[in-house]
Chains A and B, each alone.
Chain A
């Protein structure tokens, strides 16, 4: 009886201890998270966060705006997509929602919102509210017909009037009157305004009459699309290629460097312990010196570019590969080597026919697996050293203007990495099955 009592006591104690650890572990994690929340100043994040930046980013990634700007001193009116020179409409060919009537310019923002730039007055007819009139002048600032309490979508000061509605936005200052109209989509993705093919559908390009007398439709359209000065498709394609090139050269170069060294680090191929130890420490060193440090060191020696990125990947991964390959070599089957040796094969042939076939599947599948992950690293390294799509991405983010380009690059990067993942998966399956 006392035995069972003892057993029971033991079991109860064990369960109690287990219950304690079961609660202590999440408790520790929570305590750690609380500490980190304080260390990272998560509370202060709310103040530092610029949610309006987030809003611009989101809105800009799926829509664009066209600026209609009047210089109030010269009276000149320009219509430009995103206010960019490359997206400026020719003065005699504005879009159909902007109409010039002598000194007046009528702008239709859609849904009954009408803006009119006169020689003296600016007026904005807002449906359901009425007509807003403003007179910018160099001496008196901005005078308006607005009286009484204003709704929160109108902001007015002595020198500035801003009206934001769901159809667009009007700002009037002394020197400038500007209207934004928003459209969904990525502007001028295929052709810029100066291309004769702008505004034509794919069907009319393929089957319609020749648009440019000097060029066939297809060749001309391809040229204008590929050389689009705003989206620079040719440069982007090249940058993607450069990134993949960095990953390919780095990974394969690392495998080529690591393979002979791995023989020197494997117990069964190098009986001399000093060599083995030395080579293994070299592997540990190049692996431990992070890709970041290699990138910086190499960028100082070779300058920015794809070669630097490829070498940085090569250095880091030759350590990783060396370790993995030497482990694979230590696990090879001796009998196959002895079989080759029994035919009187020399050393090199023994390695070629006895060892290499055994480790090829491991070697190739690891190299291909790293190829995919290095495509991602190459994007990051490109952002630091200046090469490939990583550079374009950081540039686009730093200018803080072309968020549609940022989203375009992100989509391309995701597609590129997925494609590499897919290709490497197919090759891995085929090679391992074939071997």
Chain B
């Protein structure tokens, strides 16, 4: 066998292959070097611009949690009262997330139908709705929340509107991706018996996509709980607002802060677990 491939004939192939390997190694080496340089210089730059440097702060990283735990431990008797006291704030945070997911999901549903090829009633307007969703997704919630807080006053409503706006754009995109995989035969069947657009969508598309929609909406709900806690910090009510008050009170009321941390952590973990469980069942049920 070896005689049929004399070295003189395989040598050029071999050298060309090695060349290729070497070039690829050079490229990936260069990419990695550039990446490493970017990371290192970026951290250096960020470190210089920070009020406290990384090396000064790294020792203190546990100082604040230690303070919080210490104070909470010293006033452990107040903990149940504190948990109870901030529970309504947690409910408000979760309510903000739930309502904005509902409202944003409904708007996203409409936007998704309007921007999916084959389903949209006005095919020409599809790019328009797509761009609209891009913009809705690009605006950070805090921008809308801050502006609305100025106009509407502090409270949960500005946060709700801000998160719902963003959710509509984010879910709209995901929903329209789901729609694109929907089977169009039921829609055609409904059209053949004279169903209107709304009936075609409601009876032909929604039953196919509902499990996926629900699963995405639950995932979004999880994200929105975090977002609504953050928006509270800039004055939109709920746990974040209480946390800010507890933190800025003199040296900080750390026992209260500890209670809020606990509530937020517990809420996020619980909703995370429940939603991932339900989502598992939804997607598996859809596959079966």
**A48-B153 in contact (CB<8A):** yes
**B147-A288 in contact (CB<8A):** no
Binds A, one of B52-60, B181-189, B193-201: B52-60
Q: Name B's interface SS.
A: helix
Query: What are the residues of chain B within 8 A of A417 when measuring CB–CB?
Result: 137-140
**B42-A302 in contact (CB<8A):** no
- Once A40-B160, A414-B138 are accepted as A-B contacts, the answer to whether A297 and B151 lie under 8 Å apart by CB is no
Residue of B nearest to A253 (CB): B39
**A383-B60 in contact (CB<8A):** no
**B46-A45 in contact (CB<8A):** no
Query: What are the residues of chain A within 8 A of B143 when measuring CB–CB?
Result: 379, 393, 410, 413
**A304-B146 in contact (CB<8A):** no
Contact mask B137-161 → A, CB, 8 Å, 1/0?
Answer: 1111111001100111101110010
Query: What are the residues of chain A within 8 A of B272 when measuring CB–CB?
Result: 287-288
Q: Which of B47, B53, B152, B268 contacts A290 (CB 8 A)?
A: B268
Residues of chain A in range 271-289 having any CB-CB distance to chain B below 8 Å: 284, 287-289
Q: Which of B46, B63, B102, B269 contacts A310 (CB 8 A)?
A: B46
**A40-B151 in contact (CB<8A):** no
Query: What are the residues of chain B within 8 A of A42 when measuring CB–CB?
Result: 157
Residue A266, interface by CB 8 Å: no
Residue B178, interface by CB 8 Å: no
Query: What are the residues of chain B within 8 A of A126 when measuring CB–CB?
Result: none
- Once A48-B153, A376-B140, A383-B234 are accepted as A-B contacts, the answer to whether A39 and B39 lie under 8 Å apart by CB is no
Complex-state Cα separation, A293 to B229, whole angstroms: 10
B196 smallest CB distance to A (angstroms): 18
Q: Which of B63, B151, B226 contacts A51 (CB 8 A)?
A: B151
Q: Which of B42, B63, B147 contacts A300 (CB 8 A)?
A: B63
Contact mask B222-247 → A, CB, 8 Å, 1/0?
Answer: 00001001100110000010010001
Residues of chain B in range 27-65 having any CB-CB distance to chain A below 8 Å: 35, 38-39, 42-43, 45-47, 49-54, 56-58, 60-61, 63-65
B160 smallest CB distance to A (angstroms): 7
Query: What are the residues of chain A within 8 A of B264 when measuring CB–CB?
Result: 290, 292-293
Complex-state Cα separation, A296 to B261, whole angstroms: 11
Contact mask A359-403 → B, CB, 8 Å, 1/0?
Answer: 000000000000000001001100110010010011001001000
Complex-state Cα separation, A248 to B109, whole angstroms: 32
Residue B180, interface by CB 8 Å: no
Residues of chain A in range 5-43 having any CB-CB distance to chain B below 8 Å: 29, 32-33, 36, 39-42
Query: What are the residues of chain B within 8 A of A298 when measuring CB–CB?
Result: 57, 61
**B147-A302 in contact (CB<8A):** no
**A292-B51 in contact (CB<8A):** no
Interface size class of B (residues with CB under 8 A): 35 or more
**A40-B156 in contact (CB<8A):** yes
Residue of B nearest to A44 (CB): B155
Most chain B CB atoms below 10 A, which of A242, A252, A284, A307: A307
**A380-B141 in contact (CB<8A):** yes
Residue of B nearest to A304 (CB): B51
**A288-B265 in contact (CB<8A):** yes
Residue of A nearest to B153 (CB): A48
Complex-state Cα separation, A50 to B148, whole angstroms: 10
Query: What are the residues of chain A within 8 A of B243 when measuring CB–CB?
Result: 292, 296
**A40-B265 in contact (CB<8A):** no
Q: Which of B49, B51, B233, B268 contacts A242 (CB 8 A)?
A: B49
Complex-state Cα separation, A337 to B125, whole angstroms: 50
Complex-state Cα separation, A358 to B154, whole angstroms: 50
Complex-state Cα separation, A304 to B49, whole angstroms: 9
**B43-A301 in contact (CB<8A):** no
Q: Which of B46, B54, B151 contacts A49 (CB 8 A)?
A: B151
Query: What are the residues of chain A within 8 A of B54 when measuring CB–CB?
Result: 302, 307
Residue A306, interface by CB 8 Å: yes
Query: What are the residues of chain B within 8 A of A305 when measuring CB–CB?
Result: 46, 49-52
Residue B134, interface by CB 8 Å: yes
A236 smallest CB distance to B (angstroms): 15
Complex-state Cα separation, A376 to B144, whole angstroms: 13
**A306-B138 in contact (CB<8A):** no
- Once A249-B42, A306-B50, A307-B49 are accepted as A-B contacts, the answer to whether A290 and B229 lie under 8 Å apart by CB is yes
Query: What are the residues of chain B within 8 A of A49 when measuring CB–CB?
Result: 151-153
- Once A290-B229, A400-B150 are accepted as A-B contacts, the answer to whether A36 and B49 lie under 8 Å apart by CB is no
Complex-state Cα separation, A53 to B150, whole angstroms: 7
**B57-A301 in contact (CB<8A):** yes
Complex-state Cα separation, A390 to B265, whole angstroms: 25
**B43-A249 in contact (CB<8A):** yes
Complex-state Cα separation, A373 to B160, whole angstroms: 20
Residue B282, interface by CB 8 Å: no
Query: What are the residues of chain A within 8 A of B247 when measuring CB–CB?
Result: 296
A408 smallest CB distance to B (angstroms): 12
Q: Which of A41, A288, A413 contacts B139 (CB 8 A)?
A: A413
**B268-A380 in contact (CB<8A):** no
Residue of B nearest to A414 (CB): B138
Complex-state Cα separation, A306 to B39, whole angstroms: 14
Residue B79, interface by CB 8 Å: no
Query: What are the residues of chain A within 8 A of B46 when measuring CB–CB?
Result: 242, 245-246, 249, 305-307, 310
Q: Can you give 16 A-B contacts (C-beta < 8 A)?
A: A32-B98, A45-B157, A57-B150, A242-B49, A249-B39, A249-B46, A252-B35, A289-B261, A290-B229, A292-B230, A297-B64, A305-B46, A307-B53, A384-B234, A414-B139, A418-B134
